[in-house]
């Protein structure tokens, strides 16, 4: 019997910040102190607070240590595990103001970051060891599957999912129960259940987190879906760039097969179900369902027109349902707790919770799960800990390259599928990138468009050519060569691409442009008319000048300049030659007197 | 997997193995584990509590944890029992045998063992 459990995050974020080294160091340290039979080390999935990794939690106290290094381990073992004294200096400090260090928070659940969250899809992430099936079972794992195959008819299952109001978490927000209903109604000798784990939205990583932290939840949900629609085979399409997720998924499938939770005659019934993995090469278009199915079949990942929808004609021409990882992760909980429980969370048309990947200019980078209808202000200011360095919130981008921006004026809008569409953005898979006043919105639109130009598969002309033309116009504007009529051209072209493209990639590619034009048109105008970038980002529109009143002639800037563009003698005012200046900004950082301005 | 019973058996087997992570025990048994406590033999006491609570199947209700020096080093090993809505009980000069007895009589039976408490020791 272990008196204490030490949980170390083994998600991708903490693994890259060195959690493996903690694991080995802790193991040897415990042995050296003869504690290996008293204290158990558990490698878990992602806790969500990736910015503070590697993360370590010590139970039963629930002490939350952040940014732990291997050098800290002997102290933690000696002080905390042996003597019961919490190592204060490593405890996560919740206070938004770094000066208030005394407000260190010892327990994980008391932090602002977790207090406002409601964890359904992520409930086991950072709690169980994902490589031990017994731990999943201890958290009620596979009881939903047992209930479904033993006590419910397929129609009951579909009706429960319908009544819960669950909508697809991958982007579009289509009601999951309806999808299952269509596939159930399709008559065929063979049907498939597919999981879209091709998380391609830059900055979003909730699906990876579930795969790494709670892979059995996905397997259980897929088996439930199989029972509901009458399928006996499932495919998980996961990107090869997620090695930890792939490894844990493989382990989970193996364990479930050994226990007979996948395979023939599950729970002694005549229900059979097995799951296979297909690795994707990481093309963004393969997140689109028809392209994904084509890729599983072994062909080049290109979309095809719908209808027929996959529920009628999907994988290898057979009726198929395809849901994303986060959607599936909700299913066992809905079965166990009932549709009413799920529908009690969220807004009128968007039920349950949603996981967001917080990134950009925010203190607590990581994963948060909140009820639908939570406002952006609550997510950014309360859970996210606000914007660092005293900067101000300017906008947030949701839905990645397919979504749009939410300006500061709409920070109090409750976030759900329909509200986001109304304000010109979309839920997408839940990427949430926070921007402060140093972000140029034209440059932002350009960034996302460069991504879609790269990722367009090239099958249809509006997307293949349209996105390139739009990017050219944006480049023209940020280079200072834009004309006012370019804005009309851009808008017209955007609407053509939106309506004419074959799949979701092209249909949503213009969104970043349209929404920045809608809310930040004045910034476009500043680039075109004044030839200025208000945020000071677009290099070609910047001019560096030295204020003669502030310059002391210390020569630091001139020595720093890589282009030899700054001239001046000691104790005399220096001057920048705009013809030679490469606008790298090195001089601004070096100047001790704040004499160099960038406008 | 042929039946729900098999699943329940695994869950039951795992229950007290992961209960420690829930950390929401209604009752907390806190063992003083500073240098003085360890020197006086607090570690075997702590482990005895963990084992006895587990054996009694109470892991999900009772949290066994440790703390630093309470300041009464001459009475170590010191163990404090915090029960909801009840006054704290402080046991002193504990041994693994006394720990098992405390679990049996106090935790399960609800009767404080007066002779092991600090009140008795001071007299």
Position B82 scores a pLDDT of 87
At B113, give phi and psi (nearest 5°).
-90, 95
Say whether residue A78 is in contact with chain B using an 8 A CB cutoff: no
pLDDT band at A96 (very low <50, low <70, confident <90, very high): very low
Q: Judge whether residue A597 has pLDDT over 50.
A: yes
3-state SS assignment for residue A325: helix
What are the extents of the domains in chain A?
4-110, 133-343, 353-436, 441-530, 543-598
pLDDT band at B60 (very low <50, low <70, confident <90, very high): confident
d(CA A491, CA A471): 12
Q: Judge whether residue A559 has pLDDT over 50.
A: yes
Topology annotation, domain A4-110: Glutaredoxin (3.40.30)
Per the prediction, chain A carries an average pLDDT of 92
Position A83 scores a pLDDT of 82
Distances (CA, A) of A257 to A2, A22, A154, A254, A597: 29, 32, 22, 5, 65
Find out whether A203 and A113 touch, Cβ atoms under 8 Å: no
Position A101 scores a pLDDT of 40
Position A447 scores a pLDDT of 95
Tell me: the pLDDT tens digits for A266-302? Answer: 999 999 999 999 999 989 999 999 999 999 999 999 9
Position A499 scores a pLDDT of 96
Position A155 scores a pLDDT of 97
d(CA B11, CA A178): 33
pLDDT band at B24 (very low <50, low <70, confident <90, very high): low
Position A223 scores a pLDDT of 98
Q: Judge whether residue A320 has pLDDT over 70.
A: yes
At B30, give phi and psi (nearest 5°).
-115, 125
DSSP A557-584: HHHH-TT--EE--TTS--EE-TTT----
Tell me: the pLDDT tens digits for A171-194? Answer: 789 999 999 999 999 999 999 999
Put simply, the answer to whether B2 touches A84 (Cβ < 8 Å) is: no
Position A304 scores a pLDDT of 94
Say whether residue B74 is in contact with chain A using an 8 A CB cutoff: no
Q: Judge whether residue A467 has pLDDT over 60.
A: yes
Position A99 scores a pLDDT of 39
Which of B7, B10, B47 has the CB atom closest to A3's CB atom? B47
pLDDT band at A149 (very low <50, low <70, confident <90, very high): very high
Closest CA to A136 of B114, B18, B31: B18
Tokens of A108: 């994980």
At A36, give phi and psi (nearest 5°).
-65, -20
3-state SS assignment for residue A461: helix
Under CATH, which architecture does the A353-436 domain have?
A: Roll (3.10)
Q: Which of A30, A129, A138 should one mutate to test binding to chain B, selecting the residue with the greatest count of B CBs within 10 A?
A: A138
Q: Judge whether residue B123 has pLDDT over 80.
A: no
Put simply, the answer to whether A142 touches B2 (Cβ < 8 Å) is: no
Put simply, the answer to whether B33 touches A61 (Cβ < 8 Å) is: no
Distances (CA, A) of A509 to A171, A451, A494: 13, 9, 8
Q: How many residues make up chain B in this entry?
A: 123
Q: Judge whether residue B83 has pLDDT over 80.
A: yes
Residue percentage of chain A with pLDDT more than 90: 80
Of A104-113, A150-159, A393-402, A570-579, where does mean pLDDT reach its minimum?
A104-113
Say whether residue B114 is in contact with chain A using an 8 A CB cutoff: no
Put simply, the answer to whether A267 touches B25 (Cβ < 8 Å) is: no
CATH number at residue B79: 3.40.30.10
Q: H/E element holding A157? A: helix A154-164
Find out whether A140 and A152 touch, Cβ atoms under 8 Å: no
Position A107 scores a pLDDT of 63
Which residues in A lie closer than 8 A to residue B23 (C-beta atoms)? 59-62, 107
Which of B3, B51, B67 has the CB atom closest to A84's CB atom? B67
| Residue B117 lies in domain | 4-122
Put simply, the answer to whether B21 touches A3 (Cβ < 8 Å) is: no
d(CA A161, CA A390): 45
- Tally of helices (H runs) and strands (E runs) in chain B: 5, 4
The answer regarding whether domain A441-530 maps to CATH 1.20.1440.230 reads yes
- Positive or negative: CA dihedral A337, B15, A5, B68: positive
pLDDT band at B65 (very low <50, low <70, confident <90, very high): confident
Put simply, the answer to whether A3 touches B68 (Cβ < 8 Å) is: no
Tell me: the pLDDT tens digits for A481-492? Answer: 999 999 999 999
Tell me: the pLDDT tens digits for A510-535? Answer: 999 999 999 999 999 999 999 999 99
The ipTM of this complex is: 0.80
Q: B121 to chain A, minimum CA–CA distance in Å?
A: 24
DSSP B43-72: HHHHHHHHHHHHHTT-TTTEEEEEES--S-
Under CATH, which architecture does the A543-598 domain have?
A: 2-Layer Sandwich (3.30)
Q: Judge whether residue A95 has pLDDT over 90.
A: no
Put simply, the answer to whether B14 touches A137 (Cβ < 8 Å) is: yes
In the block, residue with structure tokens 């098999």: B6
Say whether residue A83 is in contact with chain B using an 8 A CB cutoff: yes
Position A106 scores a pLDDT of 54
Give me the CATH code for the A133-343 domain, please. Answer: 3.40.50.11540
Position A69 scores a pLDDT of 93
Residue percentage of chain B with pLDDT more than 70: 95
pLDDT band at A97 (very low <50, low <70, confident <90, very high): very low
Tell me: the pLDDT tens digits for A346-373? Answer: 999 999 999 999 999 998 888 999 999 9
Put simply, the answer to whether B65 touches A84 (Cβ < 8 Å) is: yes
Find out whether A216 and A252 touch, Cβ atoms under 8 Å: yes
Q: Which of A100-114, A195-209, A441-455 has maximum average pLDDT? A: A441-455
Which residues in A lie closer than 8 A to residue B32 (C-beta atoms)? 84
Q: Judge whether residue A102 has pLDDT over 70.
A: no
Position A201 scores a pLDDT of 86
Which residues in A lie closer than 8 A to residue B11 (C-beta atoms)? 137-138, 140, 143
Tokens of A421: 């569409």
CA dihedral A109, A114, A115, A120 (to 10 degrees): -100
Tokens of A372: 């639908």
Domain count, chain B: 1
Closest CA to A236 of A180, A285, A210, A198: A198
Q: B2 to chain A, minimum CA–CA distance in Å?
A: 4
At A482, give phi and psi (nearest 5°).
-70, 155
């Amino acid at each position: 019997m272990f008196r204490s459990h030490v949980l170390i995050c083994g998600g991708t974020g903490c693994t890259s910040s060195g959690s493996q080294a903690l694991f080995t160091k802790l193991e040897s340290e415990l042995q050296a102190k003869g504690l290996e039979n008293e204290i158990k080390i558990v490698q878990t999935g992602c806790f969500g607070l990736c910015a503070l990794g590697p993360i370590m939690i010590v139970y039963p106290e629930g002490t939350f240590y952040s940014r732990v290094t291997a050098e800290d381990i002997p102290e933690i073992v000696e002080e905390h595990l042996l003597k019961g004294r919490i190592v204060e200096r490593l405890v996560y400090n919740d206070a938004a103001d770094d000066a208030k260090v005394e407000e260190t928070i010892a327990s994980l659940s008391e932090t602002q970051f977790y207090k406002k969250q409601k964890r359904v899809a992520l409930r086991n992430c950072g709690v169980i060891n994902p490589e031990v099936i017994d731990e999943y079972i201890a958290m009620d794992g596979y009881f939903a599957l047992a209930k479904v195959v033993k006590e419910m008819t397929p129609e009951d299952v579909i009706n429960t999912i319908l009544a819960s109001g669950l909508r697809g978490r991958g982007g579009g927000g289509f009601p999951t129960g309806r999808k299952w209903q269509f596939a159930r109604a399709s008559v065929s000798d063979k049907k498939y259940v597919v999981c879209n784990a091709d998380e391609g939205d830059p900055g979003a990583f909730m699906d990876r987190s579930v795969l790494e932290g709670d892979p059995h939840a996905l397997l259980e949900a897929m088996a439930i879906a199989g029972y509901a629609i009458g399928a006996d085979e499932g495919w998980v399409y996961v990107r090869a760039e997620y090695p930890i997720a792939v490894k844990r998924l493989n382990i989970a499938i193996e364990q479930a097969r050994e226990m007979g939770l996948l395979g023939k005659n599950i729970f002694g019934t005549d229900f059979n179900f097995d799951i296979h993995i297909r690795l994707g090469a990481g093309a963004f278009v393969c997140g689109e369902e028809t392209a994904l199915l084509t890729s599983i079949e072994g062909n080049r990942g290109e979309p095809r027109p719908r209808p027929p929808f996959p529920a009628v004609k999907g994988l290898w021409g057979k009726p198929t349902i395809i849901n994303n990882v986060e959607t599936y992760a909700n299913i066992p909980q809905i079965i166990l707790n009932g549709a009413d429980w799920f529908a009690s969370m969220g807004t009128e048309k968007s039920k349950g919770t949603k996981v967001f990947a917080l990134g950009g200019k925010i203190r607590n980078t990581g994963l948060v799960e909140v009820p639908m209808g939570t406002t952006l202000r609550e997510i950014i200011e309360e859970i996210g800990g606000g914007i660092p360095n005293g900067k101000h919130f300017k906008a947030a981008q949701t839905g990645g390259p397919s979504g749009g921006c939410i300006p500061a004026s709409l920070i109090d809008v409750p976030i759900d599928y329909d509200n986001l569409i109304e304000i010109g953005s979309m839920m997408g898979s839940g990427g949430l990138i926070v921007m402060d006043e140093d972000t140029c919105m034209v440059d932002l639109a350009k960034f996302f468009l460069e991504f879609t130009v790269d990722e367009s598969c090239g099958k249809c002309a509006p997307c293949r050519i349209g996105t390139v033309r739009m990017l050219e116009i944006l480049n023209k504007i940020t280079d200072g060569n834009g004309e006012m009529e370019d804005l009309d051209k851009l808008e017209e072209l955007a609407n053509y691409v939106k309506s004419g493209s074959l799949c979701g990639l092209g249909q949503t590619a213009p969104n970043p442009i349209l929404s920045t034009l809608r809310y930040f048109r004045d910034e476009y105008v500043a680039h075109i008319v004044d030839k200025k970038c208000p945020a000071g980002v677009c290099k070609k529109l910047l001019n560096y000048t030295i204020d003669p009143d502030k310059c002391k002639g210390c020569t630091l800037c001139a020595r720093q300049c890589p282009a030899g563009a700054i001239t001046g003698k000691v104790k005399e005012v220096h001057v920048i030659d705009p013809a030679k200046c490469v606008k790298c900004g090195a001089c601004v950082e070096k100047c001790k007197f704040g004499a160099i301005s960038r406008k | 997997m042929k039946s729900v019973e098999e699943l329940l058996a695994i869950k039951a087997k795992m229950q007290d193995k992961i209960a420690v992570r829930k950390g929401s025990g209604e009752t907390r048994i806190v063992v003083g584990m500073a240098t003085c406590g360890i020197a006086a033999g607090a570690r075997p006491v702590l482990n005895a509590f963990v084992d006895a609570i587990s054996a009694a199947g109470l892991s999900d209700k009772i949290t066994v944890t440790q703390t630093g020096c309470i300041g009464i080093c001459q009475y170590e090993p010191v163990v404090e029992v915090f029960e909801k809505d009840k006054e704290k009980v402080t046991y002193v000069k504990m041994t693994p045998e006394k720990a098992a007895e405390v679990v049996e009589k106090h935790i399960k039976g609800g009767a404080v063992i007066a002779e092991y408490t600090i009140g008795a020791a001071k007299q």
